[in-house]
Amino acid sequence: MSTAQIPFLKGHGTENDFVIIPDHEGRIELSPAAVARLCDRRAGIGADGVLHVVRSAAHPEAHAMAAEAEWFMDYRNADGSIAEMCGNGLRVFAHYLERAGLAEPGDMTIATRAGIRRAHVAKPGPDGEPGDITTGMGRALLPEGEVTVTVDGRTRPARNVNMGNPHAVTFVDDLADAGDLRTAPGVSPASAYPDGTNVEFVVDRGPRHVALRVHERGSGETRSCGTGACAVMVATARRDGADPAVLGHPVTYTVDVPGGRLVISESPDGAIEMTGPAVIIAEGTFDASRMGVSWTDAAA
């Protein structure tokens, strides 16, 4: 067992990077400590999170969704904590399914802890490079009540947006105003986010064009956050008086993240779509015992 090797791949979406672990029948057990070791950038493979690829029918949290979606995205943050959703991870997950021959290019459905999500994987270009991927991100919830974000002694108002996972979105004059995002900014009241939250700092770049920095709950500052980009689009559209439900037509914003660019659209019915790239850059194996990963006998 000490020499057992587990296959993995490494991918990213706008530089939000992930270790991908194929485990179709759900035999591999990923403890929080094992995930943290895998994501360690010095002693492990290094990533913002882990995408555990499991058939929905083989996972207790996804079994009820198996009739709609064959595959479940069991997503873990870099610290080993479980997350409801990850937008960039969803694009990478969809790209992996197509690349591995587990799904055809075009439309597919994927089970997540935030429910069923849909993806459209464009066919590779003439050069073989993967096309952009559009994912359905569900609908935003806008909980009532004021929230604030505090950095370096300065408190700013924020918008509470839930994209299946929680976000606090605040607008700043300069992205440097976000300070050091390796640690979580202060968010109040604590009751608004009982399980913690992602925090986005946003600046304007032009008409319906913004840029952000983000602290991801459980991962620290990351190069991109897909659900965060969607939360930012929703908060910015409401600030700008561009609510699609009021206007009666879709609204689209370009959202720049440190790792690239995403395009976010919201329809009058509240459905949100995100379009952006996803790439897989490497694959190999890791020593299971060194990473603290275990499995049932059938997978050994």
CA angle 46, 49, 50 (to 5 degrees): 95
> Would you say the CATH fold of 147-276 matches that of 5-132+279-299?
yes
Residue 3 pLDDT exceeds 70:
no
Q: Which residue bears the tokens 């595959």?
A: 71
Dihedral in degrees, nearest 10, Cα atoms 212, 78, 91, 142: -50
225 is catalytic: yes
Check if 230 is active-site: no
- CATH T-level topology, domain 147-276: Diaminopimelate Epimerase; Chain A, domain 1 (3.10.310)
Q: What is the pLDDT of residue 275?
A: 97
% residues pLDDT > 70 (the chain): 98
Residue 31, pLDDT > 50, answer yes
Neighbouring C-alpha atoms within 13 Å toward the C-beta of 249? 1
Which among 30, 39, 169, 225 is annotated as catalytic? 225
| pLDDT at residue 165 tops 50 | yes
Would you state the pLDDT for residue 298? 53
Say which of 28, 86, 169, 212 is annotated catalytic: 86
Q: What is the pLDDT of residue 300?
A: 37
Task: Give domain limits for the chain.
Answer: 5-132+279-299, 147-276
- pLDDT confidence of 127, banded at 50, 70, 90? confident
Q: Is the CA virtual torsion 153, 154, 159, 164 positive or negative?
A: negative
Structure tokens at 137: 């991100």
Residues making up the annotated binding site are: 16, 77, 87-88, 165, 198, 216-217, 226-227
Quick one: which of 108, 99, 123 has its CA closest to 70?
108
CATH fold, domain 5-132+279-299, is Diaminopimelate Epimerase; Chain A, domain 1 (3.10.310)
**Numbered residues of the known binding site for substrate:** 16, 77, 87-88, 165, 198, 216-217, 226-227
pLDDT one-digit tens code per residue, 69-112: 999 999 999 999 999 999 999 999 999 999 999 999 999 999 99
